[in-house]
Amino acid sequence: MTAAPAADPYRIALLPGDGIGGEVTAQAVQVLEAVGGLTDLRFDFDEIPAGAAYYREHGRDWPEGSEERCASADAILLGAIGLPAQEGGHGSLLRSDGKMAGWSAIVGNRIKLDLYANVRPVKLYPGVRHYVSGSHKQVWDPENVDMVFIRENTEDLYAGSGGILAPGGVAQVATDTRIVTRASSERVIRLAFETAMAREGAPGDKTRRVTAVVKDNILYGCRLFVKVLEEVGAEYPQVEVETILVDAFTQWLVRRPEHYDVVVAPNMFGDIITELGSALQGGMGVSVGCNVGARHGMFEPIHGSAPKHAGKNRVNPLASILSAGQALLWLGTRRSDPELLRAAGAVEAAVCDVLAAGEPLTYDLVGTERAAPMTAVTSAVVDQLAEHLPARAAS
Ligand SMILES: NC(=O)c1ccc[n+]([C@@H]2O[C@H](COP(=O)([O-])OP(=O)(O)OC[C@H]3O[C@@H](n4cnc5c(N)ncnc54)[C@H](O)[C@@H]3O)[C@@H](O)[C@H]2O)c1
């Protein structure tokens, strides 16, 4: 009897980056290796040194050929990019052209790989306290916070169109031009509707709903965004469509999170409201950002390099582990691979088990007295994985 041929490995590019980026990415890799041990899935990791520390040493963001290595990977896992210009100081280390050191690995990849949507699942897992109110008093049931934010990732005020007028060498006038196009709006809006179709609706009323966060009473770009929303929405009669002004949204999100299912927004509003979303779900230690396009996906914890915590085995690895789970989900959906989808569900379920048990968890979730080391949290997730990935019966 001959053994079944092993499945082709998925190629995962790793950009651990700076500060705590390296150690949290290593935790995600450990979890993916455990997935490989429990399933037929195989992962080939291609680690690329990149970031501000690399720039400081080599005068460039990453080695030659890194762009191509990222482009040819099945998915990219990013840690964190950026370091302060001076130890303990404010202000990031910059390249000689004024861009952030390590820019190519994060913003460069978003542009080169056309990662047009930033997808942020906002879910309050049982056992996690949200970050609203200094006392961490719980005001929502976990089941009331379960939504996905989709932020346009390429244009709007961040398109880089603007400048400073400095007659006589003194800066006098600054402009940032807001660019909103039909094409870029349409692809994130379509992704929002497709995401809603794959979900079971808002936690409060189980209605599939896409909410566009705009300022269309004043801004032309938002009026175009809403026009495209209405056009695309007409193709999805099963999904309720609504718009809300961004200022009103900030209070409604906090007052009735259970109303929201999929939230879509132009770039700058999306940038701001996703941070608020992160507070609803328990902070940066558990918040994930997925940069996705038609062909490529880059997955990251939303936190930065937190240099003062680096190398101390104390930060929360769960955001990075959950981002690896999101990579499996995205890849599994794209490749129609049920084993990847099963693995994605198992990673999230294993994380939920550890959160619900209340230990071992890091300082940001349980305070310094009860804090466990980062590696203990990862080991607990790996232990739980086996519960959710039982070996398949031989056929
Ligand atoms: N996507 C990215 O790569 C990214 C995002 C944000 C900031 N940055 C960069 O990171 C550097 C530091 O930025 P910052 O200090 O403003 O933000 P940060 O997210 O690195 O850290 C802020 C604070 O959040 C807490 N924190 C962050 N991650 C945590 C984790 N996993 N577990 C527990 N606590 C955690 C820590 O208390 C930390 O001091 C800067 O150079 C910045 O440009 C990068």
Task: Give residue-wise pLDDT tens across range 1-42.
Answer: 455 556 789 999 999 999 999 999 999 999 999 999 999 999
pLDDT given for residue 143 in this prediction: 83
pLDDT at 376 over 90: yes
pLDDT 10s digits, 275-290: 999 989 988 999 999 9
Domain residue spans of the chain: 8-127+282-389, 129-141+167-280
pLDDT 10s digits, 172-215: 999 999 999 999 999 999 999 999 999 999 999 999 999 999 99
Mean pLDDT of 116-144: 80
106 lines ligand 1 (CB under 6 A): yes
DSSP state of 179: B
Farthest-apart Cα atoms in the chain, separation? 83
- What's the Rg (C-alpha) of the chain? 21
pLDDT given for residue 11 in this prediction: 98
79 lines ligand 1 (CB under 6 A): no
Mean pLDDT of 253-257: 92
304 lines ligand 1 (CB under 6 A): yes
pLDDT given for residue 31 in this prediction: 98
Q: How far is the CA of 282 from the centre of ligand 1 (A)?
A: 15
Residue nearest to atom 39 of ligand 1 (CA): 306
pLDDT at 232 over 60: yes
pLDDT at 269 over 70: yes
User: Which of 14, 153, 284 maximizes ligand 1 atoms within 8 Å of its Cβ, making it the mutation to test the pocket?
Assistant: 284
What atom in ligand 1 is closest to the CA of residue 81?
A: 3
pLDDT 10s digits, 320-366: 999 999 999 999 999 999 999 999 999 999 999 999 999 999 999 99
pLDDT 10s digits, 149-168: 999 999 999 887 889 999 99
CA distance 133 to 115: 34
pLDDT given for residue 395 in this prediction: 46
Q: Which amino acid is at 162?
A: G
pLDDT given for residue 393 in this prediction: 54
Give yes or no for a contact between 272 and 278, defined as CB atoms under 8 angstroms apart: no
What atom in ligand 1 is closest to the CA of residue 319?
A: 31
- What contacts 24+ positions apart, CB below 8 Å, involve 30-34? 30/378, 30/382, 31/321, 31/324, 31/347, 31/350, 31/378, 31/381, 31/382, 31/385, 32/324, 32/328, 34/382, 34/385
Question: Candidates 3.20.20.70, 3.30.499.10, 3.20.20.140, 3.40.718.10; correct CATH number of 8-127+282-389?
Answer: 3.40.718.10
Domain 129-141+167-280 adopts which CATH fold? Isopropylmalate Dehydrogenase (3.40.718)
Nearest to 299 by CA among 9, 18, 7, 24: 24
What atom in ligand 1 is closest to the CA of residue 315?
A: 32
305 lines ligand 1 (CB under 6 A): yes
User: Which of 303, 312, 316 maximizes ligand 1 atoms within 8 Å of its Cβ, making it the mutation to test the pocket?
Assistant: 303
CA distance 326 to 263: 18
What atom in ligand 1 is closest to the CA of residue 100?
A: 43
365 lines ligand 1 (CB under 6 A): no
pLDDT at 90 over 80: no
Residue nearest to atom 38 of ligand 1 (CA): 306
What atom in ligand 1 is closest to the CA of residue 300?
A: 1
Mean pLDDT of 42-71: 98
92 lines ligand 1 (CB under 6 A): yes
- Retrieve residue 145's tokens: 């916070």
Angle 98-102-107 (CA atoms, 0-180°, nearest 5)? Answer: 85
Give yes or no for a contact between 243 and 222, defined as CB atoms under 8 angstroms apart: no
Q: Share the mean pLDDT of the chain.
A: 94
Question: What percent of the chain lies above the pLDDT cut of 90?
Answer: 86
Q: Do domains 8-127+282-389 and 129-141+167-280 have the same CATH topology?
A: yes
Residue nearest to atom 16 of ligand 1 (CA): 304
CA distance 265 to 212: 6
Look up tokens 């997935």; give the residue: 35
Q: How far is the CA of 294 from the centre of ligand 1 (A)?
A: 28
